[in-house]
Chain A
Amino acid sequence: MRRLKIQKLFFYLILFGMTIIYLGPFLFSVSISFNADKDVLTWPIKLIPEEWTLAHYQSVWRDLPFGQWLVNSVLITSIQTVSNVFFSALAGFAFARLRFPGKNIIFSMLLASLMIPGIILLVPKFIVLNEFRLINTYGGLILPGLVSVVNIFLMKQFFETIPKDLEEAALIDGCSYFRIFWQIFLPVSKPALAAVAIYTFQGSWNEFMWPVIVSVTNDMFTLPVGMAFLKNEFSVQWPLLMAGTILISLPTIAIFLIFQRYFVQGVASAGLKE
């Protein structure tokens, strides 16, 4: 009994420690964003500001093209999320359910492409888009993220768990394969689709590397890129940066809280049968 209690205590200590490691910096950011300029980098850290201020948040909207960056981010993220859900479901369905020549080879090649670190592809991707004159355009920002192999894989795995009988019953009822996909498979795949949507939204919203390479002028920046430019060679505008960062992270936090159930379900359903 005593041993069990000690064990439990030990586990809670570890959990508490991990929570501080993960949550600490975030809370610190929140604190900085509300702190008056003079208190930002004082020691000891003032987690609860002595002087509360919303000045930094106002400044983000007033002094930066935050609105334009927000429009860019929303546009890119929504197009990429919708297209990822649609295309990865479509491709996942084909790989899971259709018979066509070269299916296994194509799928293996897709999987193999996951082994190549994304960073290596930056230069070739840039060159290709440059040839198409897509640098510093929405096309250049959006096109490379329209569909991802990970999502295709996730959808394929999910579709494979749907009983074959369902597809056959639909065939006998008179469905074409596209209708089976659209009217039978998609409606029963909500958890997986939600997972794809959430992952893509999060990834796309927070994406930094590609937008920073492909956007040149200030008006094409996305939120993370814009924020990064607050950090320059000689100074960092910490309170402004933190206020912006907190604003940026609000949508992802909200989405996670609302769709938490789907999020967990989606991860679980990627490999497990219902």
Chain B
Amino acid sequence: MADVLLKNIQKRYDKDVLAVKGASVEIKDKEFVVLVGPSGCGKSTLLRMIAGLEEITAGELYIDDQLVNDLSPKDRDIAMVFQNYALYPHMTVYENMAFGLKLRKYKKSDIKQRVQEAADILGLREYLDRKPKAMSGGQRQRVAIGRALVRQPKVFLFDEPLSNLDAKLRVQMRMEIKKLHQRLQATMIYVTHDQVEAMTMGDKIVVLKDGEIQQVDSPMNLYHEPENKFVAGFIGSPASNFLHGKITQDTELAFQSKHCTISIPTDTSMGKRLNNHVNERVILGFRPEYLYDKAHEADKRLSIDLVAIIDVIEPIGSESYVYFHFADMPSDSFCFRSNSDIHYVPGQKLKLGIDLNRLRFFDEKTERRIK
């Protein structure tokens, strides 16, 4: 179990392509850290640099206070679970799990004990004599996790391990990995492009975009207090709504866009902060869950009426995602979550209100949050 410290890590491919642009993260012992971001954001590259599978172009990587930049993967005391399982097809489950220990010259009895312990934890006891091809995707991924487990490494690395599984199995394995973390109390670094996976599993989430870290924070902080528009849009499903507009102050402080005008109460902290941004271009972000149908919500402090016309309704059982546009602007689509008991129809006109405590403003140029 160990701390992992990334200090200004860079990865440059060829001469011009900077895949990771100076990543600095402190990962504490026993922490479950998730690296998340869209394809090509550098999250896998970063993980592979920690594993020693990619050379670090610049910066320093410490595992337990030891600089490991130049150590080979086997000497870093890490174990990795790959997206495609990467099981040795000609070996049985037992041999797959025992292989790393054999190479490290463990005693046969120790190997047996460790493999059997791991097999018990992962429910693989009956499959130890099988070859990987005779197993399902979920079982194979368990073997891959088992292979990492038996090594009892300082750090576990997971590279999108659930991407190849079907939706149901993914949810199940998600829980199992989280349980495993609680049980082993090990440092784990987990890469995914799925923000739901990131939110549900991580103690700490590192959001990356174009090789740059956007924010490092706890899941709930990322959700409620995004540092910039990208994080606000990336975290949360369905994604945040964004409106481009301007802060004005005629009779009162307001956000004015081509879709609507929303007055901002000056007694809120947000109102006070926006006072310094009058006449500036900004982006208003609001999550689908903070938009309410005024006919059904009376308690919250909501904005003035926004007239919306419903385009599409997506019922998912527990709730419905309702996609709409503002009057006369059919090209821009937005979304709000509604109780699935309320029956809407496409074309229906509604009066919506945004929870004024949940408005998030971003500078239009830098896209950084106005705080």
Contact = CB atoms under 8 A, between A and B. Distances in A.
B74 A173 contact: yes
B321 interface: no
A174 B78 CA distance: 10
Contacts of B84: 163, 165
Nearest to A173: B100
B99 interface: yes
Contact of A166 (B74, B80, B88, B104): B88
Contact of A175 (B89, B90, B103): B103
A165 B82 contact: yes
Dominant secondary structure of chain B at its interface with chain A: loop
Interface string A151-172: 0000000000001011011111
A188 interface: yes
A152 B53 CA distance: 26
B175 interface: no
B72 interface: yes
A187 B85 CA distance: 18
Contact of B73 (A165, A172, A184, A187): A172
A173 B100 CA distance: 4
B79 interface: yes
A168 B100 contact: no
B205 interface: no
A169 B145 CA distance: 12
Contacts of B87: 169
Among B74, B86, B99, B104: residue with most chain A CB under 10 A: B86
Nearest to B75: A174
B51 interface: yes
A169 B82 contact: yes
A158 to B, nearest CB: 14
Interface size class of B (residues with CB under 8 A): 20 to 34
B307 to A, nearest CB: 53
B330 to A, nearest CB: 46
Interface in B79-123: 79-80, 82-90, 99-100, 103-104
B90 A174 contact: no
B291 to A, nearest CB: 43
A174 B103 CA distance: 6
Interface string B29-62: 0000000000000000000000111000000000
A175 to B, nearest CB: 6
A169 B147 CA distance: 10
Contacts of B99: 170, 173
A175 B91 CA distance: 15
A68 B268 CA distance: 103
Contact of A187 (B53, B74, B83, B90): B90
Contacts of B103: 173-175, 179
A192 to B, nearest CB: 14
B86 A168 contact: yes
Contacts of B78: 172
Contacts of B83: 165
A165 B87 CA distance: 9
Contacts of B72: 171
Given A163-B86, A168-B86, A174 B74 contact: yes
A69 to B, nearest CB: 39
B53 A171 contact: yes
A249 to B, nearest CB: 34
A223 B147 CA distance: 53
A172 B104 contact: no
Contacts of A173: 74, 99-100, 103, 147
A187 B92 CA distance: 13
B79 A172 contact: yes
A172 B88 contact: no
Given A163-B84, A165-B82, A165-B84, A172 B89 contact: no
Q: Which of A165, A168, A169, A184 has the most CB of B within 10 A?
A: A169
A16 B53 CA distance: 57
B74 A188 contact: no
Interface string A12-56: 000000000000000000000000000000000000000000000
Contacts of A184: 88
Contact of B86 (A166, A174, A175, A187): A166
A149 B90 CA distance: 28
Given A163-B86, A166-B88, A188-B90, A174 B104 contact: yes
A166 B73 CA distance: 14
A170 B87 CA distance: 9
A171 B147 CA distance: 13
Interface string A163-202: 1011011111111000100001001100000000000000
B161 to A, nearest CB: 11
A188 B90 CA distance: 6
Contacts of A179: 103
Contacts of A174: 74, 100, 103-104
Nearest to A172: B73
Nearest to A167: B86
A172 B80 contact: yes
5 cross-chain pairs, A with B, having the tightest CB-CB distances, nearest first: A165-B86, A173-B100, A169-B86, A174-B74, A174-B103
Given A166-B86, A174-B103, 10 more contacts: A163-B86, A168-B82, A169-B87, A169-B88, A171-B52, A171-B72, A172-B100, A173-B99, A174-B104, A187-B90
10 contacts: A165-B86, A166-B88, A168-B80, A169-B86, A169-B88, A169-B147, A170-B88, A170-B99, A173-B74, A174-B74
